Structure 1
């Protein structure tokens, strides 16, 4: 049922977001050197590594670490990088990962391949059995501001409460937070 829901939303989103996706891709290419997409190694279901696309908001050559681990993240942002992140437009290419089945609309946000502390905590808590999501319970309860332990606690809560109704609530709340641009540090 969840996979059908994901596919339905992807196709509906693709119809409405095709023009903005093309526009953002062009903007990224025009305003910075390098490709429009950044393919990030992420940890998926069962701790399997997959590549997840995002619109590139950081300069080419930025270290592949979580943004909060950079000494001065702002110095790595492209001209429109901050806007892409605050508006969550950088996340639009992840529709591809949902279509492929590497991700779902709702689930724990996929960890970077080198975030071993997060990967270990999720594995220990049993969260690694879930498909990662474009958004999730932890996302709407703090996004970039949550410490790893708290993020995993929200992921466990999602694991225990997951249902179509809960997913719809998370998607609705995500949309409201994106519109208000709340919870984004960079």
Structure 2
């Protein structure tokens, strides 16, 4: 278990509250216009909500703007992401506008401005002990993995970057990540995996790691 420094223990959360509140106020026109566009182009609901694991693996409801149509096959199962993701949805993702509702998650205390990204609940049993350490801190709107390749890097690389962040949280590092995130967002780098329009599914490395150690 990591040892919390002064910044992460006493300053990070108040700064998250201040930054998220200011961002919500300043970006309120963008939030409103994006919500209206989602309503017109994709219909209701405008906000996509899904449970994600946060600090100490406690589940919370993540908010994002909807980017996919609700299309299903004859058995009622959702079609693959690539078929449901519209050109408008791809644009939302490429600009990261779909992530803006997470500012409310930060204000509530579910997330931080900077930290490992909150992943799917079904991945929890697949983590090895090292990978599980990503939940020692609040998940972030952005993080080291997001400024070092985002969805264009492997899962192993993402987890290594997540743990690197957990082990050395500082104010200057958070500022650097936020600044780099703005640049990456403007340049639209690393939005998609190399051969997919969405993030690759994590299948786990736990069993493989256990075999190596046996």
Q: With structure 1 as the length reference, what TM-score do the two structures score?
A: 0.88
Q: 2:158 aligns with which of 147, 151, 154?
A: 151
1:6 aligns to 2:13 (yes or no): no
CA shift digits 1:146-184 (9 cap, x unpaired): 222111100111012211110010000000000001110
Moved over 4 A (4+): 122-125
The answer to whether the Cα contact below 8 Å between 1:31 and 1:78 also exists between their aligned partners in 2 is no
Aligned residues: CA RMSD:
2.0
Q: With structure 2 as the length reference, what TM-score do the two structures score?
A: 0.77
1:110 aligns to 2:144 (yes or no): no
Larger C-alpha radius of gyration, 1 or 2?
2
Q: Which runs of 5+ in 2 are unaligned?
A: 1-10, 73-77, 198-214
The answer to whether the Cα contact below 8 Å between 1:32 and 1:79 also exists between their aligned partners in 2 is no
CA shift, 1:141, in A, is 0.7
The answer to whether the Cα contact below 8 Å between 1:32 and 1:59 also exists between their aligned partners in 2 is yes
Q: 1:184 aligns with which of 179, 191, 195?
A: 191
What aligned pairs does 1:47-86 form with structure 2 within 5 A after superposition?
A: 47-60=57-70, 73-86=81-94
Q: Distance in 2 between matches of 1:12 and 1:76?
A: 34
Q: Which runs of 5+ in 1 are unaligned?
A: 63-69
